[in-house]
Amino acid sequence: MSDYETPIMSVKNLSKHFGEGCSNCRDVNENHLIRNFCPDCGTVYACRNVSFDLYPGEVLGIVGESGSGKSTLMRSLYFDQDVTSGEAYLRSYEMGSKNVFEESSQKKRYIRNHLMGKVYQNPMLGLRMGFSSIGNIAEKLIAAGIRHVGEMESKGRELLEYVNIPVYRMKEAPRNFSGGMQQRVQIAKALSNNPPILLLDEVTTGLDLSVQASVLDLIKELQRELNVSIVIVSHDLAVIRMMADRTMVMLDGKVVEHGLTDQVLEDPQDRYTQQLVHSLL
């Protein structure tokens, strides 16, 4: 098999519940749930048996309405929260032999710091607002084990220039930046340790159109140049159409449809996807 045919990350049956579950909903009695919510015990089934593969250099788009489990999926993949059940294997970690969800928290931290980068919708979550921009990038590099100031400074400078943050503002805190700039600092931070996998959670939501375009342009450019694999979550179909090679559609915590982006958007098979595509303004 060639290098491009083995997945860099494969996720199997990822489930995340908020709540204990009860006898009415635990035995996967689908009809009992109201969307993804059990009316008897109040358990929310945020992700239900989500499985997918991510291939090297690929952009995988995930669409779905609010509350469909997109962000929960992303948080689980970045270990921001524990999963209820499921497995994930990373080719770059132990040759894909270990389920990363079952590793110790130190190992998880290692994977986060060395093998992944994440850009959050809200820059408050991804950045330390009170520290300098270059310090924010250094944080990720320090976590990856670098203890050389000169090296970190030049790497940070290079990345910030790459995302068009002017040199004279590098030592300024992201707190003083506009939303678009904060998002670009976040992208620079996520890229600092050359992660093979980049997770983007609604990165352009809330940005104005021209800034949105420049951020997306930047991500596309980075992806081509560095050949990183990207999982991009968005509820904006235009973003998905522009960025993603393949697309997964989520509804109520389940994947209802997946396939090549063009295919999904031009010829939607699932009822929900049809509705979604046709509600595009």
Partner 1 sequence: MQIDYNYAFFDEGSKREIRRATLKAIAIPGYQVPFASREMPIGRGWGTGGLQLTLSLVGKDDVVKVIDQGSDESVNAVNIKKLIEKTTGISTTDETSEATIIQSRHRIPEVPLKDGQIMVLQVPLPEPLRFYEPSEFETKKLHAEKEYSGAWLMLFEQIMKYGNLATDADHPVMVDDRYVMAPSPIPRFDNSKMNYSEALILLGAGREKKIYAVPPYTKVVSLAFDDYPFEVESFEDNHCKQCGAAGVFMDEIYDDETETTYFQCNDTSYCVARLNHQTV
Which positions lie near partner 1, rule CB under 8 A? 105-106, 109, 128, 131-132, 134-135, 138-139, 142-143, 147-153, 171
> Would you say the C-alpha torsion 84, 126, 55, 217 has a positive or negative sign?
positive
> SS3 letters for the chain?
CCCCCCCCEEEEEEEEEECCCCHHHHCCCHHHCECCECCCCCCEEEEEEEEEEECCCCEEEEECCCCCCHHHHHHHHCCCCCCCEEEEEECCCHHHCCCHHHCCHHHHHHHHHHHEEEECCCHHHHCCCCCCHHHHHHHHHHHCCCCCHHHHHHHHHHHHHHCCCCHHHCCCCHHHCCHHHHHHHHHHHHHCCCCCEEEEECCCCCCCHHHHHHHHHHHHHHHHHHCCEEEEECCCHHHHHHHCCEEEEEECCEEEEEEEHHHHHHCCCCHHHHHHHHCCC
Of 65 and 139, the one with the shorter C-beta distance to partner 1 is 139
Taking the complex as a whole, how short is the minimal distance between the CB of residue 214 and partner 1, in angstroms? Answer: 27
Of 35 and 171, the one with the shorter C-beta distance to partner 1 is 171
Taking the complex as a whole, how short is the minimal distance between the CB of residue 140 and partner 1, in angstroms? Answer: 8
Taking the complex as a whole, how short is the minimal distance between the CB of residue 80 and partner 1, in angstroms? Answer: 13
Of 128 and 254, the one with the shorter C-beta distance to partner 1 is 128
For helices 179-191 and 149-162, the axis angle rounded to 10 degrees is: 130
Of 95 and 149, the one with the shorter C-beta distance to partner 1 is 149
Taking the complex as a whole, how short is the minimal distance between the CB of residue 44 and partner 1, in angstroms? Answer: 24
Of 167 and 281, the one with the shorter C-beta distance to partner 1 is 167
Taking the complex as a whole, how short is the minimal distance between the CB of residue 97 and partner 1, in angstroms? Answer: 23
Of 75 and 246, the one with the shorter C-beta distance to partner 1 is 75
How would you class 45 by CB atoms within 10 Å of its CB: exposed for 0-12, middle for 13-18, buried for 19 or more?
A: buried
Taking the complex as a whole, how short is the minimal distance between the CB of residue 104 and partner 1, in angstroms? Answer: 9
Of 22 and 143, the one with the shorter C-beta distance to partner 1 is 143
Taking the complex as a whole, how short is the minimal distance between the CB of residue 79 and partner 1, in angstroms? Answer: 12
